[in-house]
């Protein structure tokens, strides 16, 4: 089944404790992206990647890192999480960045930073 998977689905952590949220897609997509969703703010893009070893900042990159060593994986790294990073995070992928390509979303990761 074609899908985007994220792990963990739920995570409660404390300020300053490094964490990684994994994202994997099995559709051989070139383009992958991370969003955070906050009430009243919709989805905001954190980072995106157009292909292996090609990443770029989205609208709200501060406090986050990503890497794209393999085509299928696009982990989101919070080196020193803070409470303002408490949010619902979605990974998405599409065949390419181009407008004709539908983005497929993962199930989401709900992160709470105490």
Partner 1 sequence: AQSVSQHNHHVILSEAASLELGCNYSYGGTVNLFWYVQYPGQHLQLLLKYFSGDPLVKGIKGFEAEFIKSKFSFNLRKPSVQWSDTAEYFCAVKPGGSQGNLIFGKGTKLSVKP
Among 81, 102, 101, CA closest to 36: 81
43: contact with partner 1 by CB under 8 A:
yes
Closer residue to partner 1 in complex, CB, 42/69: 42
5: contact with partner 1 by CB under 8 A:
no
48: contact with partner 1 by CB under 8 A:
yes
The secondary structure of residue 23, as a DSSP letter, is: E
90: contact with partner 1 by CB under 8 A:
yes
Q: What's the angle, vertex CA 42, arms to CA 11 and CA 20, rounded to 5?
A: 25
Q: Are 32 and 49 in contact (CB under 8 A)?
A: yes
**Which of 34, 106, 111, 113 lies at the binding interface for partner 1 (CB under 8 A)?**
106
22: contact with partner 1 by CB under 8 A:
no
CB of 41 to partner 1, least distance (A): 6
| Chain Cα centroid distance, residue 25 | 12
């Amino acid at each position: 089944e074609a899908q985007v998977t994220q792990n963990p689905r739920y995570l409660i952590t404390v300020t300053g404790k490094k964490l990684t949220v994994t994202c994997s897609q099995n559709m051989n997509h070139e383009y992958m992206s991370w969003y955070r969703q906050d009430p009243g703010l919709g989805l905001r893009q954190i980072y995106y990647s157009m292909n292996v070893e090609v990443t770029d900042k989205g609208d709200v990159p501060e406090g986050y890192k990503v890497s794209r060593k393999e085509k299928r994986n696009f982990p989101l790294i919070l080196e020193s999480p803070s409470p303002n990073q408490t949010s619902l995070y979605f990974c998405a992928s599409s065949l390419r960045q181009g407008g004709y390509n539908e983005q497929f979303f993962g199930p989401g990761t709900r992160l709470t930073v105490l």
